[in-house]
Structure 1
Amino acid sequence: MSAPVRVGFVGLGNIGKPMALRLAAAPGIDLHVHDVASEPVAELVAAGATAPGSVAALAAAVDVVCVMVRDDEQVRAVAAEVPAETVLVIHSTVAPGTPAELAEGRRVLDAPVSGGPMGAADGSLAIMVGGAEDAFAAARPALDVMGAKVVHAGPVGAGTRMKLARNLIHFVAFTAVTEAQRLAEAAGLDLVALGDVVRHTDAITGGPGAIMYRETTAPIAPDDFWHGVFTHVTALGEKDLGLAIALADELGVDVPLAREALPRLGKGLGLR
């Protein structure tokens, strides 16, 4: 029987605590935790974790330190307490250059997550990892407990870049939703019912991710399979965007994202 993997977890907030609880319940994980708040630490201790009392003491007792704190400054403060040979796994979303900066003389993985508190609680997070193969292998047992989709995106920094690209979709889409809600409200529609329709159909089609299967954003050759698919998508999209903009003009609703999307859709898909 192999020895347990000694894992430290620093930062027991809304996402960090359920991630740590997953580790505490997992066989083969010897978990040590730290947070500035006493309540979540006590909850983790009750779940079977050890609380050494300081980041330095935690880092000295483990092989892998997972960090889910608020910002770059707090990540740097934790990193300063972690020995160079210990794998530091940064789950916080930080500036693109921070992981490489911290990797000077250290074994660092940047491993931001997507899926929120719900995904953290049920272990279904997507974890996007940047860093060396040996560090990734050392942290993999813990990552697999916390996430259902663990992607080694490339060298250190790649996980953060992937998270930022993913969240660009997320928050631009949120902004587009607010635009659509204004249009729907002006048209006298039930916004809750519209939300139900959006969630239902996105679950069927895959939402924005449905177009993300090509390995490049380069123009598509006419004989490429995707040329026909995206030609059809563009035709439908330009028609529907045009109709939505016309309705917005009729109702006096400002829809700047729709106006930007109309001339950019086909080109963005690689058609022209």
Structure 2
Amino acid sequence: MTSVGFIGLGNIGKPMALRLAAQAPARGLTLTVYDVAPEPLAELEAAGAKVAGSVAELAADVDVLCVMVRDDDQVRDVLGEVLGVAGDRLTVVVHSTVAPATPAELAATAARHGVRLLDAPVSGGSMGASAGTLAIMVGGSDDAFAAARPVLDAMGSKVVHAGPIGAGTTFKLARNLMHFVAFTAATEAQRLAEAAGLDLKALGDVVRHTDAITGGPGAIMHRETAAPIPEGDFWHGVFTHVRALGEKDLGFATDLADQLGVEVPLARLALERLGPGLGLDKLDQRTPTDQRTPADQRTPSDHTEESA
């Protein structure tokens, strides 16, 4: 049996721990939990977990300790209490999203006490935590990852060993950069649609529907490098098509925004940076409007409006 501890039973930590409690018997795990709030402790106890009276009590008797607290300072506080009592078999898994330099700092501190540490932030929200479908992005040594893997597999359906300590946090920050930039772009699209008199809820339904089909922004993320693409490469042709569609539609959208008096700075930046971002050389200085092909001169492939 692997003895697992879980500290931090908040909006995502609680469903993660509940998922562990449900999976524990079949996976050869036992679960002990701790939080400063009594309500989630009672819920976890009802689900079959043991409840510890303190961080130190929990840490003294587990093999893998999952930490899902609010911020860097709380992680440091928890680790400080853990290291005073932990044995050298312990692997600490930090699920909190912390600053890029924090995992290496924590791992160095833990190593002085013979404790292994992983940074393993998650993506998928409370729904993914409840369903056990989280993506868990892990940084740390191979042996620490191997020790924690059975626990991680109980909570997530996509577990990625991203690299050495800190790599999990960097992976999460890169993923969330795209996430929140996309949210900001969505607010521009909503303002444009609202100014045009459209139903914003219907627009949201269409976005979710088509992203589920195409993969959303992740649809372009299949290359192993972000370097420029040489002509003749398979992706050069694919992304040239994506760029042509994107610049055409972004040009139309920014023209419409001008007509409606809507500010769309991200759309304008995307129009400028889409091609170079895809790894394609800059085109000539014609505007997107100048580059549009008259409808009666388009080839059949030009009528494909969906990009990647």
Q: TM-score range by the shorter chain?
A: over 0.9
Paired position in structure 2 for 1:54? 54
User: Match of 2:46, as an amino acid?
Assistant: A
3-state DSSP of counterpart to 1:62:
coil
Q: Distance in 2 between matches of 1:263 and 1:257?
A: 10
Q: Distance in 2 between matches of 1:81 and 1:50?
A: 19
Match of 2:19 among 22, 39, 55: 22
- Pairing 1:107-256 to 2, within 5 Å after superposition: 107-256=116-265
3-state DSSP of counterpart to 1:215:
coil
3-state DSSP of counterpart to 1:257:
helix
Match of 2:91 among 63, 87, 91: 87
Paired position in structure 1 for 2:65? 65
Q: Distance in 1 between matches of 2:32 and 2:62?
A: 8
CA contact (8 A) 2:60 2:87 kept: no
Q: Distance in 2 between matches of 1:127 and 1:246?
A: 41
- TM-score scaled by structure 2? 0.86
3-state DSSP of counterpart to 1:80:
helix
**Alpha-carbon deviations, 1:148-203, whole Å to 9, x = none?**
00000000000000000000000000000000000000000000000000000000
CA contact (8 A) 1:186 1:251 kept: yes
**Offset of residue 242 of structure 1:** 0.2
Paired position in structure 2 for 1:258? 267
User: Match of 2:33, as an amino acid?
Assistant: V
Sequence identity percentage: 76
3-state DSSP of counterpart to 2:50:
coil
**Offset of residue 223 of structure 1:** 1.1
**Offset of residue 126 of structure 1:** 0.1
User: Match of 1:64, as an amino acid?
Assistant: V
Displaced runs of 4+ in structure 1, greater than 4 A? Answer: none
User: Match of 1:256, as an amino acid?
Assistant: P
CA contact (8 A) 1:128 1:151 kept: yes
Cα 1:221–1:54 change in 2 (3 A) is: same
Which deviates further from its counterpart, 78-87 or 149-158?
78-87
Question: What is the aligned length?
Answer: 269
**Offset of residue 84 of structure 1:** 6.2
3-state DSSP of counterpart to 1:6:
strand
3-state DSSP of counterpart to 1:36:
coil
* Structure 1, gaps ≥5 residues long: none
Q: Distance in 1 between matches of 2:267 and 2:255?
A: 11
3-state DSSP of counterpart to 1:89:
strand
Q: Distance in 1 between matches of 2:87 and 2:144?
A: 12
**Offset of residue 81 of structure 1:** 2.0
**Offset of residue 52 of structure 1:** 1.7
**Offset of residue 5 of structure 1:** 1.0
Paired position in structure 2 for 1:101? 105
Q: Distance in 1 between matches of 2:72 and 2:79?
A: 10
Q: Distance in 2 between matches of 1:76 and 1:119?
A: 26
Q: Over aligned residues, Cα RMSD in angstroms?
A: 0.7
